[in-house]
Amino acid sequence: MTAGVACASCGTGLRGSAKFCDECGAPTAVSGDTAKYKQVTVLFADVVRSMDIAATVDIERLREIMTELVERSAAVVQRYGGTAEYNGDGVMALFGAPVALEDHAFRACLSALAIQEEANRLAAEVARRDGVALRLRVGLNSGRVIAGEIGSGSLGYAATGEPVGLAQRMESVAPPGGVMLSESTARLVEHLAVLSEPELVRIKGSDEPVRARRLVTIGPPDGLVRTAEASLVGRRWEMAALDAMVDRAIGGRGGVVTVVGPPGIGKSRVAREVAALAAARGVEVYWAFCESHARDISFGVVARLLRAGMDVSDVDGEAARARLRAAVPPDTDPQDLLLLDDLLGIADPAVPLPQIDPDARRRRLTALINTAALARSGPALYIIEDAHWIDVVSVRCWPISSPSFRAPRRRC
């Protein structure tokens, strides 16, 4: 399968006759022997009962619908660092090649959910205009492929291997409007996403059923901080130090702890243990994940923590704005509240935002966030995973502002 012609340096899509990448300037000429093994996640999205749609609308309208669907899906894939191509009645996307991505599975999951959201928006338009139902199935699989230009490169960048075929099989067993993950992808994202219970599915080409899980949403599972897991071995000193920090927070003296180490050493497990310990003592726990594709979004991490801390994560619109106003000091400047609404993604589209320059906006939001934090009457634990990808503005802002805190170079 091909994943489109992309720059081997930065992953940007290339024009057909380009000799240099329009984004980074790297030469596009690639020799025929550059195929490499890559760890990737493959995504397939396909229209459910596409033949029924083709039989209902004329061929020109069918082309309009499919073009719009593919363009929206490709834009989503590109946003999350993948490459995409048209594939029959849908889209095939590749995350982790040509540019290697440590979090390729997570990006693919984000992309899958966003593609379904775009498909739902388009489906509403199609149902209103054409009276037909447009639904997508999406399937993901992760594994090692061999990837590179085919021949002289005129046929594009290709990924070959069993993971490609299994991703397509996952799509075929996904429910309409749903996303199905293979076991390999589920293992990579199980602490970053909410998944269904494992189920056995029968796929073409396999005599035995295979394990799969549906992707429900992104975010730590509901039970992540409620109970501790099986006994943690070999971290007695670290847990004692963190236990002491929780005691300090309960006593009114806050602090910042940075947990540093290579991937797979158990940082997330330690975080979950501390979260369970703190929750058992009545401490409110809030969790946020930094993402490599969101490093340039100002206040990105702080906004996520604020949405959780101000209890607006599960609501939108007027209900969210009402909760927010109940959580901030009553004498807050109304214009600052409008800025905060915008930051948290709950702004009223009918109310114009204050016209101020970006620096002034940043200063006012930082002051308001600090004021809201100081108004808290009880202890709270804020856990930020993968802090090496944190945005610069969040580093300088509550609740992680500290003279000693710097986004580490190693994995946190």
Q: SS3 for the chain, per residue? A: CECCCECCCCCCECCCCCCECCCCCCECCCCCCCCEEEEEEEEEEEECCHHHHHHHCCHHHHHHHHHHHHHHHHHHHHHCCCEEEEECCEEEEEECCCCCCCCHHHHHHHHHHHHHHHHHHHHHHHHHHHCCCCCEEEEEEEEEEEEEECCCCCCCEEEECHHHHHHHHHHHHCCCCCEEEEHHHHHHHCCCEEECCCEEECCCCCCCCEEEEEEEEECCCHHHHCCCCCCCCCCHHHHHHHHHHHHHHHCCCCCCCCCCCCCCCCHHHHHHHHHHHHHHCCCEEEEEECCHHHCCCCCHHHHHHHHHHCCCCCCCHHHHHHHHHHHCCCCCCHHHHHHHHHHCCCCCCCCCCCCCCHHHHHHHHHHHHHHHHHCCCCCEEEEEECHHHCCHHHHCCCCCCCCCCCCCCCCC
Residue 93 shares a structural domain with residue 123: yes
Residue 123 shares a structural domain with residue 248: no
Residue 247 shares a structural domain with residue 302: yes
pTM metric for this prediction: 0.62
In a domain, 343, yes or no: yes
Q: Which stretch of 26-35, 182-191, 278-287 has the lowest confidence by average pLDDT?
A: 26-35
Residue 370 shares a structural domain with residue 331: yes
Q: How many domains does the chain have?
A: 2
Residue 203 shares a structural domain with residue 236: no
Residue 205 shares a structural domain with residue 239: no
pLDDT at 102: 79
Give the whole-number percent of the chain exceeding pLDDT 90: 28
In a domain, 31, yes or no: no
Q: Give the residue from 218, 243, 273 where a domain finishes.
A: 218
In a domain, 9, yes or no: no
pLDDT at 264: 63
Q: What is the mean pLDDT of the chain?
A: 81
Q: Give the range of the structural domain holding residue 236, as residue numbers without chain letter.
A: 222-395
pLDDT at 225: 44
Q: Which stretch of 55-69, 158-172, 274-288, 376-390 has the lowest confidence by average pLDDT?
A: 376-390
- Note the pLDDT tens digit of each residue in 63-107: 999 999 999 999 999 888 899 888 777 899 999 988 888 789 999
For residues 258 and 71, the model is more confident at 71
**What's the mean pLDDT in 180-184?**
96
pLDDT at 196 over 90: yes
**What's the mean pLDDT in 130-142?**
94
Residue 42 shares a structural domain with residue 175: yes
Residue 272 shares a structural domain with residue 150: no
Residue 195 shares a structural domain with residue 248: no
pLDDT at 32: 46
